[in-house]
Structure 1
Amino acid sequence: MMTYATLASLRRTPQSEPIPGTVRNGAGGHAFAVDDWTRLARFLVLGSEGGSYYASPRALTVENAAAVQRCLAEDGLRAVAAIVAVSEGGRAPKQDPAIFALALAAAAPDLATRRAALQALPRVCRTGTHLFQFAEAVEAMRGWGRGLRRAVGAWYAVAPVEALAFQAIKYRARQGWTHRDLLRLAHPETEEPARRALFDWICRGRLAEEVPTIVHAFAQVQADGIDGAVAAALIRSHGLPWEALPTGLMKSRAVNEALIERMPVGALVRQLGRLTAAGALAPFSEGTEHVRTVLADRERLLKARLHPMALLLALKTYASGHGQRGQLAWEPVAAIVEALNAAFYTAFRAVEPTGRRLVLALDVSGSMAGSTVAGSGLTAREAAAAMALVTAASEERWQILGFTAEEGRPWNQGAALTPLAIGPSLRLDQAVAATADLPFGATDCSLPMRWALERGIEADAFVVYTDSETWAGPVHPVQALREYREKTGIRAKLVVVGLVSNGFSIADPADSGMLDVVGFDAAAPAVIADFLRG
């Protein structure tokens, strides 16, 4: 018999219908809206240039820019501090969102906010490429007033002159800007002969004796007819980066072996395929041993701010034996593949095990496969698998599940959970690839709690890796968690790892037992562990 209670309930509401505090998400279901500060954090780490399954890159970026501006209007100094913290902490895969947000801050109506943003310029824009990106972004927001010119001039006037010379030859032009363009806009003044000579070389091409020696070495290596042995000697004696070399020298084994010895960690990781193709990395070679030593050095990885996603992308590409673009191919060296796998876990902040019983649930739906992380070739679905493995690697009691289609039913009519035979014992790139073969179904983020309750499984926490575009199912995730708590007597927690910089979360912000964190923030696993410990 139909009753009013069967037609409307505050304890079991279909996700297609709202409950108090929820808004309509991109998939047509209902979730909680995150506040602007959470949206800022998501944008700084995840970016939006890849868009999402439900929003184009432009639409998602416009939404995020509006959220950044609201944060700047509410508390500009706090917003600038957040930008600097993510950038300096190496918490984001790419600097682009932080640079864009800093440009927005530099154009804010509030004078104190603009000043704070410009003072933070050298802390966020640490390389020539970063500075060029900032110039492109800030010019789209405001004019080149005195404060902006002074801030850019200080970038050139304060940096140690040898370091500045290195930047000048490593990053000569990006985003349509050159150092010559910025120096002519900023007009920095200096009494240092070497710095004055460097500015003169950048702007007019005059190579004076006072110019730092690395510039003289750059001029030598750019000369016609130079052979690999001479170039290798200049690399070793002056620390020339690979960007300073003519294309013709990049196939020289002697040159590549010299580069490996001095190459910064980030550049080394990005160049592994090319170095292997050139013969500089091979089984049991000195170059390979050097790479293994570098990747095993935790302090060096953290000091270099090498983000875990850079290592995951390098592992995925290097193990495949070919680049994502072009014709370059190589035979992967097994020792380097294993070193990259281990380094991925090392690059996250140290995590102490919590001892809790954890259900780790991966959203492998179509929307997760249609969204990318930080503009990379890594989908949100693959990122979910990688993030889950980081937690599993530090814990002893866990079960990894995937949201899949219910067997024998159309994808949009049935949703199910499938236990996944993946874990830290499986190589990271293989575990990530395994999620691509799962039959995705309708997104129902209440499933982990319902799954555990139906089977009598005692869990201390559910960690769901998702874009929060949940829309299917007979009950909202928060309602399913509350029912699990009531029927088991366990004060179970819910951690939502957001993997798209949209405005939704399945976590109720009013419930202290629920936490929303940004996926692929290098600090996220440690934050999750702290929350689970209470």
Structure 2
Amino acid sequence: MDPASCPEQPSAVNEQVLNSSGRSLTAAVCLRRFLCHGSETATYNTKEHPLGNENALFLMQFIESGRGCEVVEEIRRLNSEGHTVRPNPSLFALAVCSQHADFKTRQSALRVLKELCRAPAHLFTFVQYKKELKEGSGMWGRALRRAVTDWYNSQDGLSLAQAVTKCKHKAGWSHKDLLRLCHMKPTNDTVVLVCKYMTKGWKGVQEAYGDKEKSEDVQKVFAYLEAVERAKHSTDELEIIHLIEEHRLEKEQILTNHLKSKEVLKALLKEMPLVVLMKHLGKLTADKVLTPGSPDVAAVCERIQDEMALKKAKTHPFNVLVASENYKRGHGKRGKLKWEPDSDIVQALNCAFCKSISNVESTGKRFLVAVDVSSSLSSVAHGSFISTVAIAAAMCMVFAQTEPNTKVVVFSDGVVVPCDISSDMTLMQAAAQLIQTPGGSTDCALPITWASENDKTVDVFIIFTNNQTFERANPAVTLQTYRKKTGIFSKLIVCGMIASSLAIADPEDRGMLDICGFDSHAVDVIRNIVLDAI
């Protein structure tokens, strides 16, 4: 963003005004929380809630203090640095900024639109938020028309063709709608071709370009769109496979009818992104695309265990765990789709989990990871549909192997027991370590008290529990006492894996966070608070 677009002013976003207890009472913390995970409170919930007028009021209070440009810059920064775990809060906040009365705030918001909207789905969502936020007046002014036009014109023709054929509409909007409303004026020949396709369809493209001489770039885009159209209308399985292989067509561009073909699925399998592949292993097995002992299974297992591929895809071990547990279950979430898990694939996923741990970068902090064993850990966690013991064991392994200063304990009924999670353990062995202590009552303050009484220096307490109750002391108050004793601004993260709500974290304390359920986003939220991103 051009610094000259905003007047010089103190940075509200970078202010860190703390009181003696370590509380930050600035709106900046609330803003970061909202942009990172969709709630200005000290709670992350795996269930994403709709964003509406109540969120707009919170943002408007911040913007109306004269710091709208800084809000836009914070949206841009958190996204560019990878701290946002969900796209919608940023898109919503950007929509609010783009409609504010302050001209520079509106200008700044629309200037970063193409940077934040990396895919058509994001653009559609942003436009829909603007529609929901408008108050009686039309929203399609010159600035928005120019911003949407720039989004299309900023891409090369082939990339744009790939994007618009994979996502044609969302949130009640289509590309045809946006092009009509923004009065689109393409700036190069390849974008002209794609715009013709979006507004007039393939028939319009054929009429305009079929017999004309085309430049090399235009010919590439024309050939790609032709392949997409042929794949939609062909009944020849061999032709579909050829089109997939030659033009690298993806699952979203193939009709559902064709996806019933094993050979078509095998063709898609070759270029399928690793994360998508692991997600669809169950269906591929159920559809007999992956059969025991086949070359296809061998190729898939090789890809899953490839350390370089795992690193390139930035695959977190928790994502591998989810794929593994879902595959081993042998049926989909609703039980309609069923398969017999292949032992080679199961083994490959187990191996991939261990290998992917090395993808996690150390934060250099001192951790106490505490697992509540006062109740059964066989429950299914909200947000990931896998057992709470599998989540707790996996996260203990990740912290123990990536953070040198980590202590793992289990606790229940007034007792805290150190737990040795070694690097040569399997997930099952780690899980067995967590469930060897008998159950009792839940007291989430216990690990903090234990650390204090045993002179353990801890930067971050992470507690995994099924419940939120505290018998002897409030964990938030106990943490404050620990901070005063040690002089360390220690943080507390409580993961209520089957909870729909928690009330442990002090909402005004930037060092506390409640997590309801547990999913792949929760992993990133934890890292954000550990590294002071929120």
TM exceeding 0.5: yes
Partner of 1:448 in structure 2? 447
Cα displacement (A) at 1:53: 11
Conserved 8 A contact 2:407-2:418: yes
Task: State the secondary structure of the residue aligned to 1:247.
Answer: coil
Conserved 8 A contact 2:140-2:182: no
Equivalent position amino acid for 2:427 in 1:
R
Conserved 8 A contact 2:409-2:416: yes
Cα gap change, 1:128 to 1:396, in 2 (>3 Å): same
Partner of 2:150 in structure 1? 154
Conserved 8 A contact 2:393-2:427: no
Q: Distance in 2 between matches of 1:82 and 1:71?
A: 12
Cα displacement (A) at 1:99: 2.5
- Alignment equivalent of 1:222, drawn from 218, 232, 242: 232
Partner of 2:324 in structure 1? 315
Matched, 1:239 2:248: yes
Matched, 1:257 2:266: yes
Alignment of 1:393-472 (within 5 A): 393-396=401-404, 398-402=406-410, 404=412, 406=413, 425-427=425-427, 431=431, 441=441, 444-453=443-452, 456=454, 458-465=456-463, 472=470
Deviates more, 1:261-270 or 1:138-147: 261-270
Partner of 1:351 in structure 2? 362
Partner of 1:10 in structure 2? none
For the aligned residue pairs, the C-alpha RMSD in angstroms reads 4.8
Cα gap change, 1:343 to 1:322, in 2 (>3 Å): farther
Deviates more, 1:175-184 or 1:32-41: 32-41
Which stretches in structure 2 are left out of the alignment for 5+ residues?
Answer: 1-18, 211-217, 516-520
Equivalent position amino acid for 2:205 in 1:
L
Conserved 8 A contact 1:481-1:492: no
Cα displacement (A) at 1:132: 1.9
Conserved 8 A contact 2:505-2:512: no
Task: State the secondary structure of the residue aligned to 1:505.
Answer: coil
Cα displacement (A) at 1:236: 0.8
Q: Distance in 2 between matches of 1:35 and 1:502?
A: 23
Partner of 2:399 in structure 1? 391
Compute the TM-score of the two structures, normalised by the length of structure 2. 0.72
Compute the TM-score of the two structures, normalised by the length of structure 1. 0.72
Cα displacement (A) at 1:41: 3.3
Cα gap change, 1:295 to 1:472, in 2 (>3 Å): same
Q: Distance in 2 between matches of 1:188 and 1:78?
A: 30
Cα gap change, 1:297 to 1:115, in 2 (>3 Å): farther
Conserved 8 A contact 1:32-1:505: no
Equivalent position amino acid for 1:338 in 2:
N
Q: Distance in 2 between matches of 1:288 and 1:524?
A: 35
Equivalent position amino acid for 1:134 in 2:
F
Partner of 1:411 in structure 2? none
Cα gap change, 1:38 to 1:297, in 2 (>3 Å): farther
- Alignment equivalent of 2:69, drawn from 54, 73, 77: 77
Matched, 1:37 2:28: yes
Q: Distance in 2 between matches of 1:472 and 1:237?
A: 61
Alignment of 1:119-518 (within 5 A): 119-142=111-134, 143-205=139-201, 206-208=204-206, 209=210, 211-227=221-237, 229-282=238-291, 286-288=295-297, 290-291=299-300, 294-295=303-304, 310-325=319-334, 327-330=336-339, 331-332=341-342, 333-342=345-354, 345-348=357-360, 350-351=361-362, 356=366, 358-362=367-371, 372=382, 387-396=395-404, 398-402=406-410, 404=412, 406=413, 425-427=425-427, 431=431, 441=441, 444-453=443-452, 456=454, 458-465=456-463, 472-477=470-475, 480-481=478-479, 494-497=490-493, 505-506=505-506
Conserved 8 A contact 1:315-1:429: no
Q: Distance in 1 between matches of 2:73 and 2:530?
A: 22
Cα gap change, 1:102 to 1:301, in 2 (>3 Å): farther
Higher RCO (Cα < 8 Å, 6 or more apart) = 1
Cα displacement (A) at 1:463: 1.4
Conserved 8 A contact 1:312-1:341: yes
Deviates more, 1:492-501 or 1:102-111: 492-501
Q: Distance in 2 between matches of 1:427 and 1:294?
A: 21
Cα displacement (A) at 1:109: 3.5
Cα gap change, 1:276 to 1:473, in 2 (>3 Å): same
Cα gap change, 1:216 to 1:502, in 2 (>3 Å): farther
Q: For each residue in 1:161-200, what CA deviation from the matched residue of structure 2 results, as whole angstroms up to 9, or x when unmatched?
A: 1011111211122222221122112222125333222212
Q: Distance in 2 between matches of 1:303 and 1:112?
A: 39
Equivalent position amino acid for 2:260 in 1:
K
Equivalent position amino acid for 1:522 in 2:
D
Conserved 8 A contact 2:307-2:356: no
Cα displacement (A) at 1:491: 5.6
Cα gap change, 1:187 to 1:492, in 2 (>3 Å): same
Q: For each residue in 1:382-437, what CA deviation from the matched residue of structure 2 results, as whole angstroms up to 9, or x when unmatched?
A: 86665444322213564434565x3xxxxxxxx765666867634289859979x9
